[in-house]
Each structure stands twice: as structure tokens, then as C-alpha cells.
């Protein structure tokens, strides 16, 4: 929606153009903070394990696809490469989404929350975001009694 992140330069250009379509000039001018990448990374509030929460959302229909975690370097790689990069808590290593599955996420916009401890990453998702081959990891609805119902269909690779 907001920018194409295949290259930093292109990203910056498209970003500015799309903001002006959605928002008043006053707001954009009045509340823009020109930071370096290092200053931005320093400004995030990492938890005791050095992580921020990353919510990944489909940039077209706003479906929430998954939640994962990023450390400082994963945030940098995501911003600079235009592909989502996470920190795997279980494997203790970087994890570029789609590297093995081909189900890549092209970054379209990165948003930071008020507390600076969470990022919202809008992406163009190829195939399933979920390792169980659902489009979204949130494929089970829970009712007030704790009953779970699968409410999505598994994708088939063809």
C-alpha cells in the first residue's frame, strides 16, 4: 500500500508519493522525523531477549498473516532488503521468510507502534504464510468455551 521496498531508493520515492495521496500535507510535514537507520534501530524498545514483536499483514486485504519476532539486525535486514527477516527464538537464528519454502514476503510498508516495541509489516505474500500451508497462521477460530474450528482452507501447491 505505502511503498515498494525492493530497493531503498525506490522505496523512499514511492513512499512519499503514496503518503501524499492519503494524508494531509500538514501532518506529513509536521510530524516527520528524519532519522538515520541506526537512530531508528536504537529507538526501538527491545525486550529482555532483544526482540520486538512483528505482525505481518497482507497489504491488499489487511488479513493478519502471522506474528514473529525481530531483533535489531532482523529489523535492519527487513528494512534494507525489502524481504521480511525474523529471529527464530527456537532455533536462535535469522530466518528469511520463504528462503526454503518460496513463500516470500515482499515488504510494502513498515509501521512502528506508540511504545516502539512492535512493528506492523505490510507485505505481498506469495502462497501460504503458515508452515501448515494455510494463507494465515490464524486459521482457527476459538469460541467462548474454548472450542476451536478451522475456518480456512489449506492451500494446495500446484
Q: Which residues bind its own copies (CB under 8 A)?
A: 2-3, 5, 8, 11-12, 15, 19, 22-24, 27-28, 30-41, 53, 55, 57, 61-64, 66-67, 79-80, 82, 109-115, 118-120, 130-132, 134, 137-153
Residue 99 or 151 with smaller CB distance to its own copies: 151
Q: Which is nearer to its own copies, 102 or 142 (CB)?
A: 142
When the beta carbons of 24 and 158 are compared against its own copies, the nearer one is 24
Q: How far is the CB of 88 from its own copies (least distance, A)?
A: 11
Pairing of strands 105-112, 118-125: antiparallel
Closest Cα partner for 152 from 128, 125, 124, 119?
Answer: 128
From CA 66, how far away is CA 131, in angstroms rounded? 10
The least distance separating its own copies from the CB of residue 158, rounded to whole angstroms, comes to 19
> What per-residue string of b and e applies to 126-140 under the rule 16 or more CB within 10 Å gives b?
eebbbeebbbbbbbe
Amino acid at each position: 500500500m505505502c511503498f515498494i521496498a525492493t530497493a531503498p531508493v525506490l522505496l523512499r520515492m514511492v513512499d512519499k508519493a503514496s503518503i501524499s495521496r492519503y494524508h494531509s500535507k500538514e501532518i506529513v510535514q509536521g510530524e516527520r522525523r528524519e532519522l538515520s537507520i541506526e537512530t531508528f534501530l536504537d529507538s526501538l524498545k527491545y525486550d529482555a531477549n532483544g526482540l520486538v514483536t512483528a505482525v505481518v499483514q497482507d497489504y491488499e486485504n489487511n488479513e493478519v498473516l502471522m506474528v514473529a519476532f525481530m531483533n535489531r539486525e532482523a529489523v535492519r535486514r527487513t528494512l534494507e532488503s525489502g524481504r521480511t527477516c525474523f529471529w527464530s527464538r527456537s532455533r536462535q537464528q535469522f530466518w528469511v521468510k520463504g528462503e526454503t519454502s518460496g513463500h516470500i514476503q515482499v515488504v510494502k510498508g513498515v509501521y512502528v507502534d506508540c511504545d516502539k516495541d512492535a512493528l506492523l509489516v505490510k507485505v505481498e505474500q506469495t502462497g501460504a504464510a503458515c508452515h501448515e500451508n494455510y494463507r494465515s497462521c490464524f486459521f482457527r477460530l476459538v469460541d467462548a468455551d474454548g472450542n476451536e474450528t478451522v475456518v480456512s482452507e489449506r492451500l494446495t501447491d500446484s
